């Protein structure tokens, strides 16, 4: 267990942008806090971490990540309690998942002290950027990429790890319309769909764009082999309530192990709700809808927490779900997760970590 924080050289900005923060007109991912953490990996070792003013980074045109895709990231949030205390939600799980992604992409693992101490010191420095109002948070983006100037297909020998932050409000303004995707594939078994690799998201943009043009907010991905089984919804894990049971696709090498997903399942189990993690056929969802047993569907993820699904379209048939106000379980989960994060409910699983 860590007992002493590592030393991080910090350069404080002389031109804070905090006074320009407009919470009433906040767009997700468009405004950034004053500072960032930056750590280089070279000569086989992690170098001295530093916190510096947020700003551009200098890259070679031959930067390995730009050519061969060694790039991945995490997404997490800091919250401010009514007493003004800044807390993080399950940060060790983000660190563990980032290293799982790193191993799959042949990148160096990040030591826990560099990740956790760097994260805490950065957020503490920019604590005033954490909005103190319900539904708002500080979105945190750790990422790493191969920074060596390299033209040759091999793992880079130099990497850059950075954390920066962005104040955030809600991600989806309304319940989402989704369609079942049966042509394009997000990931396949044996690939790296379980990692938060940048390439996973690049490949998802065209199918999402085509769905938007048809009037949908997102798509539900199906398996890459048969397109018969549900995997994820857009950039989120997906869950269904079928006849009182919470059902979600089992984790695999093609499905991301979402931290919000795990939190939702844990809360449901705490409350005695039947939970099933298994393969889900698309036809099962259609049959449950026709039988009047599809009671709820929602996505889970860091940005949206709970994204209520308004309707699911499968082969031209739109399945309308019950009004959000009538959905007992997903609303209860969304409320409880917020209460835990904002310090309004007990935290029996030790998910909340104080920044200072």
| Residue among 237, 247, 244, 220 at smallest CA distance from 329 | 244
How confident is the model over 124-183, as pLDDT tens digits? 999 999 999 999 999 999 999 999 999 999 999 999 999 999 999 987 778 999 999 999
pLDDT classification of 1: cutoffs 50, 70, 90: very low
How confident is the model over 69-104, as pLDDT tens digits? 999 999 999 999 999 999 999 999 999 999 999 999
Cβ burial 313-324 (10 Å sphere, 16+ → b, else e): bbeeeebebeeb
What single string gives the DSSP state of each residue in 12-61? --SS--GGG--GGGPPTTS---SEEEEEEEETTEE---EEEES------T
pLDDT at 2 over 70: no
Of 3.30.300.30, 2.60.120.10, 3.30.1600.10, 3.20.10.10, the CATH number of 176-342 is 3.20.10.10
> Whole-angstrom Cα distance, residue 1 to residue 292?
51
**DSSP state, 28?**
T
**Residue ranges per domain, the chain?**
9-170, 176-342
Question: For the chain, what's the residue count?
Answer: 356
Q: Residue 142's pLDDT is what?
A: 98
> Whole-angstrom Cα distance, residue 114 to residue 161?
10
pLDDT classification of 343: cutoffs 50, 70, 90: very high
CATH 3.30.470.10 fits 9-170, yes or no: yes
Neighbouring CB atoms inside 10 A of 70's CB total 25
pTM of the model: 0.95
Cβ proximity of 351 and 263 under 8 Å: yes
């Amino acid at each position: 267990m860590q007992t002493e924080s590592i030393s991080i050289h910090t350069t404080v900005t002389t031109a804070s942008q905090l006074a320009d923060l407009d919470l009433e007109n906040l767009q997700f991912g468009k405004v950034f806090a004053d500072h960032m953490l930056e750590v280089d990996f070279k000569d086989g070792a992690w170098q001295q971490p530093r916190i510096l003013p947020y700003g551009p980074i200098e890259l070679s045109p031959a930067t390995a990540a730009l050519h061969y895709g060694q790039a991945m990231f995490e997404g997490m949030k800091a919250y401010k309690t009514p007493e003004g205390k800044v807390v993080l939600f399950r940060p060790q799980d983000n660190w563990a998942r980032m290293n799982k992604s790193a191993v799959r992409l042949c990148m160096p693992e990040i030591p826990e002290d560099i990740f956790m101490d760097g994260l805490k010191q950065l957020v503490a420095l920019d604590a005033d950027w954490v909005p103190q109002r319900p539904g708002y948070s500080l979105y945190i983006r750790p990422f790493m990429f191969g920074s060596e100037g390299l033209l040759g297909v091999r793992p880079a020998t130099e990497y850059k790890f950075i954390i920066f932050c962005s104040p955030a409000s809600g991600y989806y303004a309304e319940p989402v319309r989704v369609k079942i995707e049966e042509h394009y594939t997000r990931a396949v078994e044996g690939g790296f769909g379980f990692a938060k690799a940048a390439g996973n998201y690049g490949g998802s943009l065209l199918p999402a764009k085509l769905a938007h043009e048809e009037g949908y907010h997102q798509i539900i991905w199906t398996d890459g082999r048969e397109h018969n089984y549900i995997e994820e919804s857009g950039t989120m894990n997906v869950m269904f309530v079928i006849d009182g049971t919470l059902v979600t696709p089992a984790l695999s090498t093609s499905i991301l192990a979402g931290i919000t997903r795990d939190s939702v399942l844990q809360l449901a189990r705490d409350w005695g709700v039947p939970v099933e993690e298994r393969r889900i056929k698309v036809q099962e969802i259609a049959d449950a809808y026709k039988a009047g047993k599809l009671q709820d569907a929602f996505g889970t993820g860091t940005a949206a927490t709970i994204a209520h699904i308004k309707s699911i379209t499968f082969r031209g048939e739109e399945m309308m779900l019950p009004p959000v106000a009538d959905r007992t379980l997903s609303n209860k989960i969304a409320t409880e997760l917020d209460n835990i994060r904002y310090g309004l409910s007990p935290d029996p699983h030790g998910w909340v970590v104080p920044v200072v």
